[in-house]
Amino acid sequence: MGSNPIPRTKVVPIAVLLELKKEGRRESTLLSIGRKLRYLEKHCDLDNPEKVKEYVANLQCSDGHKDNLIDIYAQYARFNNIQWTKPKYQREERITRVPKEEQINKIISHSTLKYAVAYSMIRDVGLRPVELGMLRVKDIDLETGEVYPITAKHGAGRVLKLGTSTLSMLKEYISKNNLSPMDILWNSKRVKENWSKQKVIVSRNLGEPELSQIRLYDLRHFAGSMVYYKTKDIIYTMRFLGHKNIKNTLRYVHLINFDNEEYSVRATKNVEEASGLIEQGFEFVVDMDGIKLFRKRK
């Protein structure tokens, strides 16, 4: 007797990914699609669209997540010529709560160098986690701190600038690990997994439960919000975030009310000290009696 054939639904999701790869989908997109297809396959018969629709409809999750699962199943249905009526889910417009910088920094400060640098980069320049995972050493100018990422979601290319402390940590990380120009700096999946664990540990140790609610993607929201707050330029913010559609930027930049926030204030007469304060994120406020005052949101 010959060997038993592998059930169809155990093979086709892989074949779907191969076809999508031929269509030019990026590896990061394929990984996400594959993960969600395997999830659906585990809970329902992919060859029965009505069962798939029933399962998704009964999930306790947002309509946005349901819509995403249905879009991914549509690829499977297209590949297999499955006739079905695609359900419509209305994605909710929801304002994301942006964490404070001091909250983000508490988690970063308790992280190992490898992940502290990764999180600091997202906080500084608003990289998507998937963009972080595509960065090679050669994509960063270690003299100027300029970052040349591959923009995800077919957005426009952009050049970003790291903060001084982040650049210093990055140089240390590269040196300690003897990384070459072509080396990938991080695995985005592990960065996300580490953040999920680290924020819970820090939250528990510091007795600050709100820290456990901060998502890794919120660091990107923070970066975009800060850029808009400083520039009041929605087009510049759109380019900074790598968006193609300004509507996406408007969802990010709601903004949080900075006017009621507390500030750290520094005063100096020294040009070198003033330069250092600006590099640390302080902004010039006023010159009084030859003393320059700077402030930075806590």
Q: What is the pLDDT of residues 211-227, one digit of tens each?
A: 999 999 999 999 998 88
Tokens of residue 176, six digits: 């300690």
CA distances for 213 relative to 107, 111, 138, 280, angstroms: 12, 17, 34, 26
Of the pLDDT bands very low, low, confident and very high (cuts 50, 70, 90), residue 286 is low
pLDDT digits (tens, 9 = 90+) for 261-278: 566 777 788 888 888 888
Residue among 266, 33, 243, 61 nearest 152 (CA): 243
Q: What is the mean pLDDT of the chain?
A: 87
**110 phi, psi to nearest 5 deg:** -100, 10
- 257 pLDDT higher than 60: no
DSSP letter for each residue of 85-97:
----------PPP
What domains are defined for the chain?
Answer: 8-79 (no CATH), 101-252 (1.10.443.10), 263-297 (no CATH)
- What is the rounded CA–CA span in Å between residue 216 and residue 33? 20
Tokens of residue 160, six digits: 């970003």
At residue 244, the pLDDT reads 87
191 with 111: CB under 8 angstroms? no
Tokens of residue 227, six digits: 């850029």
pLDDT digits (tens, 9 = 90+) for 63-87: 888 999 999 999 999 988 899 999 9
The single residue listed with the structure tokens 């998502």 is 215
28-37, 181-190, 273-282: range with highest mean pLDDT: 181-190
For residue 267, the SS3 value is strand
Helix (H) / strand (E) element for 119: namely helix 113-125
Of the pLDDT bands very low, low, confident and very high (cuts 50, 70, 90), residue 94 is low
- 162 pLDDT higher than 90: yes
Q: What is the CA radius of gyration of the chain?
A: 23
Tokens of residue 12, six digits: 């086709």
CA distances for 114 relative to 110, 118, 166, 173, 216, angstroms: 12, 7, 11, 6, 15
pTM of the full structure: 0.71
- What is the rounded CA–CA span in Å between residue 155 and residue 38? 28
The residue that leads in pLDDT, 1 or 40, is: 40
